[in-house]
Structure 1
Amino acid sequence: MYFKSSLTALSHAMEDLVLAVDDSPLVIANFQHEKFYRQEVHRYQRIAQRTNQVYVLAVPESESGFAVVEQSLETIPLHPNDGLAQEWHLVILAHKYTACLICREQLTPATSMEQARRFEGFWSFDSRVTIHAARLLLGRIASYRPELAPKVEQVWQRYGLTTEVPEQTLLLSSAGIDISIFAQRLVTYLQASQYKLLKAYRVLSTKERKERLINAITATIRRSLNPQDVLAATVKELGNTFNSCRCLLYRCSPSDQQAKIEYESVATGLPSLTGQMWSLADNPLIQVALAQERAIAIADVTEAPNLHNNPAIRTTIQRWQIRSWLLVPIHYQGTLLGML
């Protein structure tokens, strides 16, 4: 069982063999649907510069030019009901090596992520397996495009497909090809796909947290139209969402010297700031946030020496045990309402 990211890495590593070795191989790639081929079109144009025997199979998009004959490679438009529309194949047959990837997609919910697509199959450097796959696919190619019959016949003769393969398995290492080319590329592609997956999961996690926060605040508003209840619940949810030790919300205007802390979410064991007067004029971070009308974030206040040079700020940091600091001005129609 393979996920799409693994098959993409395998395919790219195999394709790199064609680009790295001057051997003019036969390359047959089944992309299922044209949209997947379009993601790799530049790569296959490069491959077509190394060999004139490149065949790309896919179900064409409506009103696309996929079925138009290209000079660099042969495109084979599949019928949507053809079983190949559910299969991912890559067959490479050269004089020095052979490689193939044969897979069929398993049905998954339509709502699944693209990278969650699953396939059953195998990949191999066995020449008998590769040649058998090439024979089957060449038969389908000739069936879909009869005008290619002479070219397909040349392929059968050129790559020895008319004779039986000896009872042996040809590995890359024994065929004069450095297997490290494939191994290094495969590891690189797998690492890149893993990074993309982690990045996608982080985006989804952030989106889920944001939606959960909005839903929690919306539910509070529906339960009570009292602004104080809504603001108190908002601060509580923000504190839980960001997993911060303290979350404050207070009203202020650009001319205020200080503000009273009205709403707070604080971790257990820490002293509360509710009701305390919070200095605004002596805090350069607040002044910058107000002047630039944007959020200001300090990941580690110990690495901001300019803050410790200010006695008032230094006292605030030490008294309230501040390690990281995020300030977000709240505006409505250009008017400052408060600070979070």
Structure 2
Amino acid sequence: MANRIIATSVLEELLARLPHLRLQLYFKTSLTALSHAMEDQVLASEDAPIIIACFQRERFYRQEAHRYQRIATKSHHVYVLAAPETEFTSCSGDYETVAFDPGDTLSQEWHLTVLGKNYSTCLVCREVQRSPTHRLDVLPPMDAARRFEGIWTFDRQVAATTAEILLNRIREYRPELKEKLREGLV
């Protein structure tokens, strides 16, 4: 597991670089559907894009691991990030996995970036936290009703900027991938 914690969210960094972007509100169910559609496009294409997926927790990644096994047959540049809970570690296999500290801002974010020659898109979101005055005796919202704010776009410039931000984060966690990460952005 990575020892460092990055306190700036990917969404904040993206908005600082591209301040013209406007946030939208999404529910988890919408993000799941959008992510699956983006992944399906990768699977249906002959393109070999960079794919970067950030899961808040290992358990969310485990629900999608079979999809990423298939996606890895399409590209040598597949990166999956998650906060470990049991067995998730940083390693190289069919695709790169990147474990980050649960205290990192990535644990509150949902990202999927696809940067290819023919198809580019990204989903960059952070979870909207409940009010600090939220009563503790009230049950938390259902998982599907969790809310996120962020950006979903097919704009290649936004996808490329997001990929650069995420690849820089990956380099922080996995410096041994420096050359592979550089080759992915060429």
Matched, 1:100 2:122: yes
Q: How does 1:297-312 map to 2 (within 5 A)?
A: none
Matched, 1:18 2:42: yes
Partner SS state of residue 144, structure 2: helix
Task: Label 1:68 to 1:121 Cα distance change in 2 as closer, same or farther (>3 A).
Answer: closer
Deviations 1:19-73 (A, max 9, x none): 00011110000011111000000011000011111000110114x1x21524211
Alpha-carbon separation, structure 2, partners of 1:156 and 1:3: 31
Count of matched residue positions in the alignment of Structure 1 and Structure 2: 155
Provide the residue aligned with 1:29 in structure 2: 53
Unpaired runs of 5+ residues, structure 1, are 158-340
Provide the residue aligned with 1:272 in structure 2: none
Q: Give the one of 57, 73, 90 matched to 2:112.
A: 90
Q: Give the one of 117, 136, 139 matched to 2:165.
A: 136
Question: Normalising by the residue count of structure 2, what TM-score does the alignment of the two structures yield?
Answer: 0.80
Provide the residue aligned with 1:53 in structure 2: 77
Matched, 1:122 2:151: yes
1:111: Cα distance to partner?
Answer: 2.0
Alpha-carbon separation, structure 1, partners of 2:66 and 2:158: 28
Q: Give the one of 57, 71, 87 matched to 2:93.
A: 71
1:155: Cα distance to partner?
Answer: 1.0
Deviations 1:75-94 (A, max 9, x none): 01011111111000000000
Deviations 1:239-270 (A, max 9, x none): xxxxxxxxxxxxxxxxxxxxxxxxxxxxxxxx
Alpha-carbon separation, structure 1, partners of 2:38 and 2:161: 18
Percent identity (aligned): 54
Alpha-carbon separation, structure 2, partners of 1:69 and 1:57: 11
Matched, 1:7 2:31: yes
Partner SS state of residue 40, structure 1: helix
The answer to whether the Cα contact below 8 Å between 2:52 and 2:113 also exists between their aligned partners in 1 is yes
Partner SS state of residue 72, structure 1: coil
1:153: Cα distance to partner?
Answer: 1.2
Alpha-carbon separation, structure 1, partners of 2:50 and 2:107: 21
Deviations 1:1-23 (A, max 9, x none): 11110000000001111000011
Q: Which amino acid aligns with 1:49?
A: T
Q: What is the root-mean-square deviation of aligned Cα atoms in Å?
A: 1.2
Partner SS state of residue 112, structure 2: strand
Alpha-carbon separation, structure 1, partners of 2:162 and 2:129: 23
Which runs of structure 1 show a deviation greater than 4 angstroms over 4 or more consecutive aligned residues? none
Provide the residue aligned with 1:330 in structure 2: none
Question: Normalising by the residue count of structure 1, what TM-score does the alignment of the two structures yield?
Answer: 0.44
Alpha-carbon separation, structure 1, partners of 2:70 and 2:34: 18
The answer to whether the Cα contact below 8 Å between 2:91 and 2:98 also exists between their aligned partners in 1 is no
Higher normalized helix content (fraction of residues): 1
Alpha-carbon separation, structure 1, partners of 2:92 and 2:174: 13
